[in-house]
Structure 1
Amino acid sequence: MHGIGKMATDAGRGTRQRWLAQTLAAVVLLAGLLTVAPPAQAADLPWGPYTCATGYVWREAVPGDQVCVATQTRSETQTENALGPSRREPNGFCKSGFVWRETRPSDLVCVFPSSRDRAYTDNANAPWRLADPGATPRGGVSVSTTNHQLGGYLYATGSGLSPNRPVRFYAVRINTVGPYSLGSLTANSAGAISGWQYVADIRCRSGQTQPAIVVVLDQGSGVVTTAGTTDAFRRCG
């Protein structure tokens, strides 16, 4: 009887140990999920994922254009839209002294060259003018990291981009002020990054405790999207 009681006690102890191990594993998994999940969501922003930082408003050069610009730029853009037809030749090209604005490839409103230059600059600055670039939705580009001892190599692939235009990559939610530039690629004539192309060698940063969110700027349209996360910034040895 004593042996039977000991066996029952051992069996009970084993059951409790398995339960504790399963509980601990669940807690670790949950902690990992909480770490990966971005702390801010688009629902927390007053105007959705493309809410502008203070001092900026949507440009609205074409339908769906949510690039953040100065208030005066939006007003001037609306004036350009109204005057555009009068600046166009019957063949679709602009009259002398005007060029296509090209806030995106489909934007063929005729404007002064200075306005086109401003559109390029506004597109290039799009990530810095968002209230939270890390809350933007997933786009057509994905990233992958191959880890090494001091960080990792970042690669990207995807589609749905402006043909033959720069595609720039930034890290957010790391211990820097504003988006951190990682590198750039150029979309091909089909608006794609074919295969997995090298973007950057990311080195760890002291004090970084969470994965970074990688955001992508399609500079041809000013559209900012997220492409995934990378753990390279916190892999210090």
Structure 2
Amino acid sequence: MKRTLLGLATATIAGLAVTAPVTLMAGPASAGGDFGPNTCLEGYVWREARTGDVVCVTPATRTQTLADNAAKASRWTSGPFGPHTCVTGYVWREAFTGDDVCVTPATRAQAKADNGKAADRRVSAKLWITRYTVPPVDNGDGTSTSTSVDDIPRLKINGDHYNFGQVRLYIRYNTGRLYWSGTVSASAHSGYVGGSFGKKTGVFDCSGGGKAANAYAQAQDVVSGRWSPRLPVRVGCAVL
């Protein structure tokens, strides 16, 4: 196979990798719908078995939880476990340590299952960076074409624990100046929790030689407004 090498004039990365602009959003403190690290994925709400119970459950489970709380006194009797012994057919819910609200065995099993899935139902907005290179372009005639920068690693922004739907992505210099922006649709992928994605940015990774980060990547879940942590990167290097 013939490999043709095309020369490329020196240019800054900013001139090569910027995508179409998107509308910028306000910072994390003012993003609507963000209730902090316990924000639930769309379709879930806080259980509120007690004040401060922020386990994410279905609306139907929350309704049942509130009904059980309201009926607790009618299901207690004095017995071997004290004045809060459950009447026949009921057991302690145990949604949290010391939870002695009496519920059906099925409801207690549901509470245990919900506790086990709590982390997977939050908009944790996890983010990580991988690198990729550009393969030669097949010309369809037994030859391929490449450029002098194809072997330079570029940044791919990945995430999971997002709502299904649009996620806004940004790379900013540490000064706050926007360097690159884009959008991606988070959807279901095997092995990942909630909505997940992987976005090739076209932005060159300039961290070679142990150079310090001069920028950061960040994502915003549009449905909740929640922001991911900032990931340090180095961008803006000149390439040949």
TM bin (shorter chain)? 0.3 to 0.5
Q: With the length of structure 2 as denominator, give the TM-score of the two structures.
A: 0.40
**Structure (1 or 2) with the greater helix fraction:** 1
**Structure (1 or 2) with the greater strand fraction:** 2
Q: With the length of structure 1 as denominator, give the TM-score of the two structures.
A: 0.40
